[in-house]
Amino acid sequence: MIIFEYNKSVDKRCWGRLIKAKTMFGMIFPVKFRITEHKKKECKFQAIEFKKYWQPSEKYFYKGLLKIYSKAKIPSRLICYLNSSPYSMDDFEKGCISVSYKFKTPDKVKRVVAHELAHFLFRQAYTKYSLKVGYSETQLEDLKEILTVLHKPVLGLDDKGYKVHAKQRTQALKLWSKYHNLEKVISGLFKNKI
């Protein structure tokens, strides 16, 4: 079950990641913290809204995500912290995910929560395999973004991804339609130098 809540220290951690990264996947991030009282209140309000949007479909998404990330296990309880930045993140080491409060419609909420949960499941069950195949730690960041393209055929979610990964995402879909096996998709992308 995903619990939605706000925590200022997690909000600061999200902003800190943005500021430290400066750019990622072709996007330029802010250079200073922008946490206001208004944004904190909005995050707390949106946590209630996210719960309303996510919970009715939660089991459906778990079942679909496990079709893709079949070696992973859905945590019995996972906290999804809302943050006031334009950035969403998985934080496997801390055992949580965090999404931007800016997603306001049920479809966008479902897409972003499934996206970050997928990153969490990837890290849980496919990091070691991917490193064994030959991916570097840096390439894992790209790979986890590429693989969310599989949400369209399995979950019906149009996870567009970043432009920088367009070619790899097309290849991942082809490999998925051929094998329906994530390890074969991961190794196939690596063999094709994608």
* Range 43-61 average pLDDT: 96
pLDDT at 117 over 70: yes
d(CA 163, CA 183): 24
Angle among Cα 68, 71, 73 to the nearest 5 degrees reads 95
DSSP the chain: -EEEEE-HHHHHHHHHHHHHHSEETTEEPPSS----HHHHHHHHHHHHHHHHHHGGGHHHHHHHHHHHSTT----SSEEEEEESSS--EEEGGGTEEEEETT--SHHHHHHHHHHHHHHHHHHHHHHHHHHHHT--HHHHHHHHHHGGGGHHHHH-------GGGHHHHHHHHHHHHHH--HHHHHHHHHHTT-
- Could you tell me which of 3, 156, 131, 133 has the C-alpha nearest to residue 68? 156
- Residue 36 main-chain phi, psi, to 5 deg: -115, 165
Q: What is the pLDDT confidence band of residue 170, given thresholds at 50, 70 and 90?
A: very high
Q: What is the pLDDT confidence band of residue 164, given thresholds at 50, 70 and 90?
A: confident
* Range 21-36 average pLDDT: 65
* Range 48-72 average pLDDT: 97
> pTM of this prediction?
0.91
- Higher-scoring residue by pLDDT: 73, 17: 73
pLDDT at 29 over 80: no
Contacts of 163 (CB under 8 A, 6+ apart): 26
So what's the pLDDT on residue 21?
Answer: 60
Q: Which amino acid is at 129?
A: Y
